Structure 1
Amino acid sequence: MTRVRPEVVAFDVNETLLDLAPVRATLVEAGQPETLLPTVFARTLLTGFAAAASGTWCRFRDAFDSALAQDSELDAGARGRVIEAFGELAPHPDVEPALRRLVEVGLRVVTLTHGSPGVAEAGLARGGITPLVQRSLSSEAIRAWKPAREVYLWAAGTCGVAPDRMALVAAHGWDVLGAQRAGLTGAWFPRSERVYPAVYEPAHIEAGGLAAAVDALLALPAA
């Protein structure tokens, strides 16, 4: 199927748009190694994915707290302070120009996360780029986690477009895979992941960075 330029571009939030440095710093302040965050983040996703796959559900916040309890000896108060650091996230330096370029050519930009409502909004505001984002969507509203097909279809429906007129940009291969399986155009670029997982179907767009991913979306033919 030939991909066409989307009307709406959705962006994953944690790591893709927002830098997790404040969460890492809070862990270090609590006496934890700087290398702990990737382990906790991976276990958080495992917890949420397993709950979703088994027909139950939990909030991202609760999954993260559970992961912290398993991978550290922090008490509930210390874990709470680490979780609250998600409210201090800010965009990576390449985010503002990438989003601005899309908006300037008339595409609509949204965020799509299974993270806690308010995190994306706070981070966008901290970076001064709230006006570039039409809306922030959290799949907590439908009690689901990406990469479930229903999340992407819900996002497309909420934005009033067919799935093939929406793109998902993410620095996580599993997120891009889920979007593509739901009919969206997927665009992957590296941040914490160095390569796109070879066991997945190829990403529609695999770029060296966020700016290049946006360039590739804009290079798609008009419908």
Structure 2
Amino acid sequence: MNQQWPDVVAFDVNETLLDLSPVAAALVEAGEPAHLLPVVFGRTLHTGTAATVAGVWLPFRAAFESALAQLTDLSDAERARVADTFLELTPHPDVEPALRRLTTAGVRVVTLSHGSPGVAEAGLERGGVTPLVERTLTSETVRAWKPSREAYLWAAGVCDVTPERMALVAAHGWDVLGAERAGLTGAWFPRAERVYPPAFPAPAVVAGDLAGAVDALLAL
């Protein structure tokens, strides 16, 4: 095997691997517009990362329901029902072939989320790709939201590799930036983001899609 490519490739979960359409549908069912989801999701990330920087711990679900409270008039029960739909997510169609391409090449595949425990597992199981994933990791274990350096170094330690032998694939530029600053190889491709944030230093890999990101990592 070409020893230049990573020993372990970690994947972000929400949006990168799993489609958030069920969450958008739950918002509609609760009387909110589906296009509100990106705003709520963005506020969730802002809330969680701000709390981490300030030294306050918030699990993903608490940050998500907090964002809903700020941006909607939903009741406590309605916010809880929307949050529950994260357990109904399924992988995007391009996920299975991308993960299989890596495992066939002998690369270990893990997930690294700051989402609630069980979300990645449920989605991977629903998509039939659980056998392709060595382990699912959530930074809730170390109470540090990505893109904090601690989250990525912890993940590398759990996988028993040095940071430079691990890569992170994500559809979020801020996540890739955090991984690279921690010494990992970063690979970005578009889903909700049209381009990699021009204000950030360019990562090792910028690809047009998930398959391209995987191919680029295997070409290192």
Q: Distance in 1 between matches of 2:51 and 2:64?
A: 13
SS at match of 2:34: coil
Q: Distance in 2 between matches of 1:51 and 1:74?
A: 23
Q: Distance in 2 between matches of 1:177 and 1:143?
A: 19
SS at match of 1:35: helix
Confirm whether residue 81 of structure 1 aligns to residue 66 of structure 2. no
Q: Distance in 2 between matches of 1:77 and 1:212?
A: 41
Q: Show CA shifts across 1:83-119 (max 9, x none).
A: 0000000000000000001001100000000000100
Cα RMSD of the aligned pairs, angstroms, is: 0.8
Any stretches of 5+ residues in structure 1 without a counterpart? none
TM-score by length of 1: 0.97
AA matched with 2:53: A
AA matched with 1:214: V
- Any residues of structure 2 matched to 1:1-223 within 5 Å, and which? 4-220=4-220
AA matched with 1:134: E
Any stretches of 5+ residues in structure 2 without a counterpart? none
Structure 1 runs (4+) greater than 4 angstroms displaced: none
TM-score by length of 2: 0.98
Q: Show CA shifts across 1:133-174 (max 9, x none).
A: 000000000111000001000000000000000000000000
Q: Show CA shifts across 1:182-205 (max 9, x none).
A: 000000000000010011110110
Task: Give the CA deviation at 1:4.
Answer: 3.0
Aligned length: 218
Q: Distance in 2 between matches of 1:82 and 1:89?
A: 12
Q: Show CA shifts across 1:60-80 (max 9, x none).
A: 100000000000000001101
